[in-house]
Amino acid sequence: MNAAEAESLVQGRHWHHNFEIYPGVHTNGSYNPSFMIERLNIPDDLSGMTVLDIGASDGFYSLECMRRGAKVTAVDYRHKSTSGFSVMEALNSVQIEHIQSNIYDIPEGIGTFDIVLCLGVIYHLPDIPRALWKLAGFCKGRLLLESYVESFDSDLPMARYYEADALSGDLTNFWAPNVQCMQAMMRDCGFSISKTETWGDRALVVGEIGASTGLKMTLAYAPTMNG
């Protein structure tokens, strides 16, 4: 495939990620995720490691982790043919395991992962703690959680609920947590906080699994999840 053929596959498609998908060919997405790679502090060599990419969208992070040697599983609510994920695979001659699933319905049998990426997802979820408890079951190492946040001028864990499309005109935006709320929910799901970073109205919180039992969320959700 040459650049002209690659360009023809990219054009006319709606993209979320804005990145170089093929040498000299860029997608026209609304969000350039390249700056996040340094913030995430993902090792250059992921050989022998497994990565779960939640909300993979067009596959920028999935491709980046695969290039570094990881075995990647991507999850998105859309089929990969309706996002740019399948085009990304074709242009890079790769095939990455892709699961079309709501975060709450990810199959239990997919295994556990050294790194779980959940970037720009949780404020779109009506029940954030349930999602984090679910992800804790897939994580045997580190969860990298990034979200839109608000401060509320308080050190208490707090979150604002947005009705309808009141947040950025987007019906899929439900919550604006503060950093303390993100940290508290992660601790209750069994993570210890190893890093927190903020910029503008975004925050990255990194958690390591296994420091606590996550008993609160187990009591809250296990009966529901088990029927």
Average pLDDT by consecutive 10-residue portion of the chain (227 residues)?
A: 92 93 94 92 96 97 98 97 96 97 95 98 97 96 98 96 97 97 96 96 96 78 64
Take residue 213 and report the two structure tokens written for it. Answer: 């039992």
What pLDDT is attached to residue 225?
A: 54
What pLDDT is attached to residue 123?
A: 98
What pLDDT is attached to residue 217?
A: 86
What pLDDT is attached to residue 214?
A: 77
Domain boundaries, given as residue ranges, for the chain: 3-225
What pLDDT is attached to residue 224?
A: 60
- Amino acid at the residue 72: V
Q: CATH number of 3-225: 3.40.50.150, 2.60.40.2380, 2.60.120.10, 3.40.50.2020?
A: 3.40.50.150
- Name the pTM for this structure: 0.94
Would you say 72 and 62 are in contact if contact means Cβ atoms under 8 Å apart?
A: yes
Take residue 70 and report the two structure tokens written for it. Answer: 């990881």
Take residue 181 and report the two structure tokens written for it. Answer: 């709320």
122-126: long-range pairs with CB below 8 Å, 24+: 122/147, 122/175, 122/177, 122/182, 123/147, 123/148, 123/167, 123/173, 123/174, 123/175, 123/176, 123/177, 124/172, 124/173, 124/174, 125/174, 125/175, 126/174
